[in-house]
Every structure is written in C-alpha cells, then in structure tokens.
Amino acid sequence: MNEHFVAESSARISTITLICICSASTILQVSSAHGRKEAGAPSSNPSSVRDAQRDFDWDIGAWKMHMKRLAHRLAGSTTWVECDGTDTVRKIWDGRANLGEVEADCPAGHIELLTLRLYNPETRQWSLNITDSGSGVLSPPAVGEFKDGHGEFYEQEPINGKPILVRFTIDDITAKSARFEQAFSADWGKTWEVNLIVTETLMKEAAK
C-alpha cells in the first residue's frame, strides 16, 4: 500500500506525507541521504548497489487492510483511530512501477487513496507517492530502499510551520502479509513518533 507508504483520508498528502519539500533537488537529496545513513544502507555508487527494480513484486495483488492512525500527531496523544479496507496493487512497466488503489471505512467516513511507486534506475531507489480522490494532487515523494527485507523511505515536510522528517517503513514481509509504519521526527531523527500502522493480509495474488 506505501510506499509511502493515509491518515485523515490522506494526512500524508496534506501534512505526510509516510510523507512540503521547498526544493526537490536539494532537500530530497539531504533527506534521502540521512535516511540511508540511519538505515545502514549500502553506498549509492551504482557499482556497489544491487538492482532493486523487483523489490515490490511481493506486493502485487489484492490485500485486506487494517489501519491505525494516531488521533493527534506530535502532541503526546495515545488515542488511535482504526479503519478497515482493501488495497489492490497492480504492476506497471514490468515491475519498475506499481499502482495501489486503497479504499477504507473510517469513523469519519469512507476514504479512497491512490499510491504510486516508481523505481529510479540511476539511484536504484524507489519513490513513494500518494493522493486521494478529494485532492487529486500527489504528495511529495518519500525516497528509499530495501535492505535485508526491511524497507525504509524518507521525506521532509512542514507541519505546524516546522520542518518534520517523515519515515515510512515496511517490515514483516511474507508471502501473505506485511506491516507498514509511518513516523515523524521533530529533531532530525533523534526521536521518532509512530503515527500510522497498517497491516495487510493477502486476499488474492495477481499474476507476477
């Protein structure tokens, strides 16, 4: 689902987002480099980095989704809002991109999201983008990669007038399940607050 990596119909779009960036050419590079360093990712030198264009093949299919989001982010909240829905992911460009269609029922109403993941063959990293049916505008991309079965993607955006680092992770990947988390950091990665947790269970596998 993402990739960026959803809250309040798409908190990742208006505030995420996992997930606005003032200078895509400068800040995204800084954010991505910060994320790779923290994740212990390999060097971005093409000669030392593996080809990762099939890293999302496992996610192609129809998934049952359960989502929990923190009611108030970066405010010390312990109240969670829960939603249930589906995420249908289809492959594009032989796996070098994919589209996910998310529909979920939440206490505040029904939400519809579209996730777009794109593989960059030069950096050998993925970007995660999201939009909702109400805005039709893609979020800033969260950029990152997988290592040893763990996906980690970063972006930066202003929240309440302050720059916030956003981390989107993917873990516990099996043939029939996966776990996604989004977290915010107001101190450039020293501490993190998880504000979105999504667990997915495969309903129907699509042709790879």
Question: Over the stretch 123-166, which tens digit does the pLDDT of each residue have?
Answer: 999 999 999 999 989 989 999 999 999 999 999 988 888 999 99
Report CA dihedral (114, 137, 116, 87) to the nearest 10 degrees. Answer: -10
Band (204; pLDDT cuts 50, 70, 90) = confident
Q: Calculate mean pLDDT across residues 22-46.
A: 38
Give the DSSP H/E element, type plus range, for residue 195: strand 193-205
Q: How far apart are CA 158 and CA 128, in angstroms?
A: 18
pLDDT digits (tens, 9 = 90+) for 52-66: 999 999 999 999 999
Of the two residues 197 and 12, the one the predictor is more confident about is 197
Q: Is the pLDDT of residue 198 over 90?
A: yes
Q: How far apart are CA 133 and CA 124, in angstroms?
A: 30
pLDDT for the residue numbered 50: 81
Q: What is the pLDDT of residue 61?
A: 97
Under the banding of pLDDT at 50, 70 and 90, the label for residue 49 is low
Instruction: Show the tokens assigned to 140.
Output: 């800033």
Residue 28 has pLDDT above 50, yes or no: no
Instruction: Report the range of poorest mean pLDDT among 42-51, 68-77, 89-98, 118-127.
Output: 42-51
- Please state, in angstroms and rounded to a whole number, the distance separating the CA atoms of residues 73 and 5: 17
Per-domain residue ranges of the chain? 7-205
The CATH architecture one would assign to domain 7-205 is Beta Barrel (2.40)
- Distance CA(67)–CA(122), nearest Å, equals 33
The answer to whether the pTM exceeds 0.95 is no
Tell me the C-alpha distance between 132 and 159, whole Å.
19
Q: Span 25-51, mean pLDDT?
A: 44
Q: Binning pLDDT at 50, 70 and 90, where does residue 208 land?
A: low
